[in-house]
Structure 1
């Protein structure tokens, strides 16, 4: 059985019952709580806030990652590490010195992640792969939930899978990830799956049933 990291995208959760949502996802076997932070500049939207992050961090002992969709992410990295982030993702094109920012994250004992937009080529970030623990491939354009999966990103995913052993990183995908894509991409070598409304939230089944099925524990 291929090991999978199931990462609920918390911007898709029911914020009227956030404490219940976190507890149910935690108990269901979620591995990493995924928090999207947006500044309305790098992407045309605003995501979750500091208070949301703090609340979820206090509500679970599971790992939490933060996806910084912001300009000048180096200004925010240590803030979120101090608040309890275990993995920090940022977009290298928004940072003047991305290698330094990756080093800053790792120096604090946390996992450093690069986020790659659909239009970002591997060649532009290849040297940074030596410093990354995780690579988050966006399979939709970042900023909004409920978009359609972009099939042309599959070629980029396959190229990164072929590179991950040499550079020693794990691959995570984010954006319109359905049950079928979890199964297909996991077999290819993808480790982590950020899940929103395509596979996890707003379904008739319980979180426990969905996550057990995704991990193959009901087979």
Structure 2
């Protein structure tokens, strides 16, 4: 089964983001994951436009953008034009969520929704036929280094089932350790957003880490 490894660039080395991006690219990154936060929808500020543009400029790999912001519909065209391949929005942050998803797709990009741990599947079922990805937050969004929330596992399993019905891929984001990659791959998760639990701040080279994550 396909297994997408997606380093979360919020955890990268900001003293030399270009060098770190190139190293991750050469190590076998599938998708670069970019968190954009506004300090309102989540209690933190994330990466900025300049960070996105730098990563986009030094890799030909897909780059996604996770808009943890209020009114993401105001910004999806901007990020599409900057070269985002996949754009995730939080449905509860958008007053016209179906329109925003349509705009993403009209720009030739993949549309994704991100579900907070407390957001029930029932609240977004109508959106599932018009998205390409559903990303389940397995921590409360906004900060790196949190503990994995085990109660999200049932949501993940149900979305995998619904994904086979509607044709979207299930991604997980938050405290994704190698053990979680192994466990969640078995239930049908396609993509893994990887931060300090598995990739960054380790003694091993990125390629060795990625090679291991593909086979465990």
> Smaller-chain TM-score range?
over 0.9
Q: How far does residue 97 in structure 1 lie from its aligned partner after superposition?
A: 1.1
Q: Distance in 2 between matches of 1:147 and 1:160?
A: 23
Residue 35 of structure 1 contacts residue 48 of structure 1 at CA under 8 Å; is this kept in 2? Answer: yes
Equivalent-residue separation in structure 2 for 1:98 and 1:50 (angstroms): 22
Q: How big is the alpha-carbon RMSD for the aligned residues of Structure 1 and Structure 2?
A: 0.8
Q: TM-score, normalised by structure 1?
A: 0.97
8 Å CA contact 1:8, 1:32 repeated in 2: yes
Per the TM alignment, residue 81 of structure 1 is displaced from its structure 2 partner at its CA by 0.3
Tell me the TM-score normalized by structure 2: 0.99
> Does the Cα contact within 8 Å between 1:5 and 1:192 map onto a contact in 2?
yes
Residue 147 of structure 1 corresponds to which residue in structure 2?
Answer: 146
How many residue pairs align between the two structures? 216
1:133 corresponding residue in structure 2: 132
Q: Following TM superposition, where does structure 1 have runs of at least 4 consecutive aligned residues deviating by more than 4 angstroms?
A: none
**What is aligned with 1:75?**
74
By how many angstroms is 1:19 displaced? 1.4
In the alignment, what sits opposite 2:84?
85
Supply the distance in 1 between the matched residues of 2:73 and 2:206 (Cα, whole angstroms). 35
Equivalent-residue separation in structure 2 for 1:164 and 1:23 (angstroms): 32
Partner-residue secondary structure (3-state), 1:3: coil
Residue of structure 2 in register with 1:9 after alignment:
8
Give runs of aligned pairs for residues 1-219 of structure 1, distance below 5 A: 2-216=1-215
Q: Contact conserved, 1:67 with 1:90, CA < 8 A, in 2?
A: yes
Cα separation, 2, equivalents of 1:132 and 1:19: 31
Q: Which runs of 5+ in 2 are unaligned?
A: none
Distance in 2 (CA, whole Å) between partners of 1:20 and 1:39 is 26
CA distance in 2, matches of 1:21, 1:49: 17
Q: 2:181 & 2:109 partners in 1: Cα distance?
A: 26
Q: Displacement, 1:184?
A: 1.0
Instruction: Work out the CA distance in 2 between the residues paired with 1:192 and 1:161.
Output: 11
C-alpha displacement of 1:18: 1.0
